[in-house]
Chain A
Amino acid sequence: MTSANAEKCLRNLPVGMRPASLVPLLLISILVLMAPAYAADNEVHFSNEFAYTYNDITGPGGDDSSSLTRGFRYLNIFGFMGNGTVKELEYNFNLGFKATDDRRNDVATFSPTNIQGRMTNKIHTVNAGDTFESFSQYSLSTAVKGASYRYFNEQKNSPEITMVYGYVLPRWDTIWGGVETRAIERTAYGMRIKQNFSPNIWAGISYVQAKDRPGTRIMSTDPIYDSNNYTVDAEYKPIPGLAFRGEFSTSRTTVSPTSLAAQNEERTHGTASRIEAVGEGGPSRVSLEYERVSTEFQSILGSATPDREKIKSKWRYTMTKNIMLNLGLLWFRDNLDGQKAYRTDSYTPEAGFTFKNLLGRQSATADLAYRYDRKFGAGNGSGISTADHMTTLNYRDRFGPVDSDANVGYTIYSTERDQRQAKEYTYNLSLNSRHEIGEAYVVKPVVYLGGMTSRDDLALETDRIYEYSFGMGFELLKLKLNSDFRIGQNVLEKTAAGTDNSTKTFGSFNVYYRPPFLKKFNEGMLYLRSFVNDFRFSTQSRSFRENSVTLGVNLQY
């Protein structure tokens, strides 16, 4: 985008969002919130982490494949927070910023992370800046840059009234930042009233609106929403250990799919409902859930999967002191309005056992689990069905000074009409130990062996992955210095023609030191982190090596 376009973009912002008007407002808010920090019964903290990194990438494949940025790069993360009481008012504030010249860390060199202030007198609560009010799953569970107000008098058991207004932006500098931090300007506001009718029954009603400003599309194909959600939710606990929860929401949404004149606006109206029963007592915990979300339901600020009807049940049963059973069944389907050529039904039954004190060994725990994943009509409009089986076994034990964790998995993938027939074996074992030498030293050796074999029975090809590594950790207790290193190799072997085998040889070395001169800082620490990854591919032009060294200091006061 050119600077002229950027200026135009700024001019398009509403008055309240322009940098010139926002910065003083924010500063005033911050100062107002910080002023009480000098009074008694208050506290402030800050934290700062500065890291300076040197990355080196060599080899022909580095430019395309490495996730590191070459050269010296810095990253600084600063936080300033406080809380306290002034007369009847309790307050909290939290400010933070990030600075970096590594574009993989952030597109902006300097960016505020958190700007938040909150005040309450136990009845009225005001939050400004980063504001997160979660009403319910379908209505609002999104943080905004704005403000909220809540009224709730616990002693009078009054209704809890919450109002929120703000911009749904991923970051603060979207408001005043340049081209790289642009986002669709989405305004959100909402209100919720919740009443506790008794300790066992509450109900809430909420309204939220999400509205995008049409002129702020990034791409011409970005949809622009104007959505309204009206939601009711409630919970009832008839007896201790049993709870019923329910939610119903209706949405009215106008969507402008693209900026092209040929595309008309679409108006949709959908509903979503769910009801859940949870029973807990004695050795059992049982839950049963039903959900139906219509095809046209939109939850811009909440969370829902449209075009889905679902039943989920779970049963956790402690059979004996050492054996626990988990059973579950998930069923869902789509095509609620018959709008697709094929309907997909998905059935996922699962069963699992946890065994403790296995074979009389107090330190032994085993988890055995099986899951069957059956789909009729596989969701691709072709009516093809799948039947996958997944079995896993995890065994954790302690042999003398060595802790072990072993995993074995076997999965069968089967999609009809010869779309997929495959088997997958996974296996890994990690061993670690801790040895104290006198009172001043601790050494912690670690060994890892793992791999996966994947067999494609249709293409008659096999992929094999192996990884093995060895590491050692050191703790110098008197010096308050921790250190560890790890070396190993990851190998991918393929039999398919025209594909690459690869080997990665890796090593890492880290040191964390809390020197005496940083003692006054709660978390004062110097650190060094370094690693080498050497990738070798059959196609040599893809091979590369990446080396990285980071020096950092972390202060928290």
Chain B
Amino acid sequence: MRKLISGISCIVFLLLMCHIDGPAELSAASAEKPDEIRLEYLYINKKMTPETEKKITLFRELLSGGRVSITGKIADTAKAKAVEVSIDNKSTWRKVRSTKKNTFRYSFRAEKGATYGLLIRITDAKGNTNNIENTFKGITILDRSLYNAVGDALNSMIEAYQGKALGSFMACVDGSFTGEKVEYEKSVQNDFSALNDIIIHYTLNSVTPDYKDKVSVALNFDRSYTVVKTGKRRSDEGSTVMIFRIDNGKLSLYSVRGQPLFGFTK
């Protein structure tokens, strides 16, 4: 049975892959300029950002020194004479130095709540330039702190959990949840069947980001609920650690360690 499922899944996957086209923008761009001057890679705050990723949202406190850092490499098909960066949608350009290895680096101090239109212009010795529009990134610096964003994410989860809104609750759980999202959903659904009138209070102990794409959140909680089977009211308390994944300013639950706050009846 297992082999059958594996086989079917692989065939389905391969069939689907055959029907997947590359992202439209990439195909169009490469069709226009086959030997174009182009970026080989671009890191924004040490995270590789593909050409297709146009919107980037960042928490200011996760920026080293409050600065957005940009590191790029120009493809070896061209030798850059000049590299310029604009962070205001082409209104002004700043020259940046490129190395012998065709790499360049630029950083700028970012303000809370601001949005920057990042573009990179590469010019070779003949005066040819790259397709500037392809390098566009809209970088938004969030107005709120990570601490508040963690509080908002937890409040959303607790509100959905208390209201037994399974869809809204699971929308706060990451697709790559380490304990298996479907299994977690079943555990939470089991809570909804077994318990009535759930009330949760919490206080945060620590909020520790990894400065990449995750934040570890330690918290104390107390909760009370009515056990449907017996009709009796119960209360308990504990502490837990939840790891959230940060994706473009949005937090979603990635992993749970210690005593579970949700999905504890199964």
Query: Which residues of A are at the interface with B, using a C-beta cutoff of 8 A?
Result: 41, 43, 47, 61, 64-67, 75, 77, 79, 81, 83-85, 89-92, 94, 96, 98, 100, 104-106, 111, 113-114, 116, 118, 120, 122, 125, 127, 130-134, 137, 141-143, 152, 154-157, 170-171, 196, 199, 239-242, 277, 279-282, 284, 286, 288, 290, 303-305, 309-315, 328-333, 345, 348, 350, 367, 371, 373, 390, 392, 394, 407, 409, 411, 424, 426, 428, 448, 450, 452, 454, 463, 465, 467, 490, 492, 494, 499-502, 504, 533, 535, 537-538, 542, 556
Contact = CB atoms under 8 A, between A and B. Distances in A.
Contacts of B22: 239-241, 281
A156 B167 contact: no
Given A67-B224, A313-B13, A500 B231 contact: yes
Given A47-B147, A66-B235, A494-B228, 8 more contacts: A84-B66, A132-B208, A132-B214, A137-B178, A281-B21, A311-B5, A345-B2, A490-B196
Contact of A537 (B20, B101, B196, B233): B233
Contacts of B241: 142-143, 170
B239 interface: yes
A104 B224 CA distance: 12
Secondary structure at chain A's binding surface: helix, strand, loop or mixed?
A: strand
Nearest to A89: B65
B247 interface: no
B182 A67 contact: no
B66 to A, nearest CB: 5
A104 B26 CA distance: 55
Given A241-B20, A303-B178, A118 B214 contact: no
Contacts of B229: 499
B210 interface: yes
Contacts of A428: 163-165
- The 7 A-B pairs at the shortest CB distance, nearest first, are namely A90-B65, A500-B231, A65-B233, A281-B20, A143-B216, A67-B224, A199-B41
A282 B64 contact: no
A328 B209 CA distance: 32
Interface string B221-255: 01110101111111101010101000000000001
A270 B186 CA distance: 28
B46 interface: yes
Contacts of B82: none
Contacts of B101: 155-156
A327 to B, nearest CB: 9
Contacts of A426: 164, 192
A392 B164 CA distance: 13
Interface in B97-144: 99, 101, 103, 105, 107, 109
Interface of B: 1-2, 5-6, 9-10, 12-13, 16-17, 19-23, 26, 40-41, 43, 46, 48, 50, 52, 61, 63-67, 69, 71, 73, 99, 101, 103, 105, 107, 109, 145, 147, 163-167, 175, 178-180, 182, 186, 189, 192-193, 196-197, 199, 201, 203-212, 214-216, 218, 220, 222-224, 226, 228-235, 237, 239, 241, 243, 255, 257-258
B19 A282 contact: yes
A65 B66 contact: no
A67 B257 contact: no
Contacts of B204: 77, 113
Contacts of A81: 61
B7 to A, nearest CB: 11
Contacts of A122: 64, 69, 105, 107
Contact of A305 (B179, B186, B223): B179
Contacts of B43: 154
Contact of B239 (A61, A170, A303, A538): A170
A284 B71 contact: no
Nearest to B202: A105
Contact of A130 (B105, B196, B197, B208): B208
A452 B180 contact: no
A143 B218 contact: yes
Nearest to A413: B193
A171 B205 contact: yes
A83 B63 contact: yes
B48 A199 contact: yes
Contacts of A137: 178
B24 to A, nearest CB: 8
A116 B226 CA distance: 40
Contacts of A143: 206, 208, 216, 218, 241
A311 B208 contact: no
A141 B209 CA distance: 11
A545 B16 CA distance: 58
Contacts of B258: 170
B216 A313 contact: no
A401 B182 CA distance: 36
A492 B196 contact: yes
B16 A465 contact: no
B193 A132 contact: no
Contacts of B235: 65-67
B64 A502 contact: no
B199 A288 contact: no
B48 to A, nearest CB: 7
Contacts of A315: 12, 16
Contact of B2 (A279, A331, A392, A542): A331
A5 B99 CA distance: 63
A87 B96 CA distance: 19
Contacts of B212: 134
A501 B205 contact: no
Contact of B206 (A113, A133, A280, A535): A113
A100 B201 CA distance: 14
Given A113-B206, A143-B216, A65 B224 contact: yes
Contacts of B232: 65, 500, 537, 542
B233 A141 contact: no
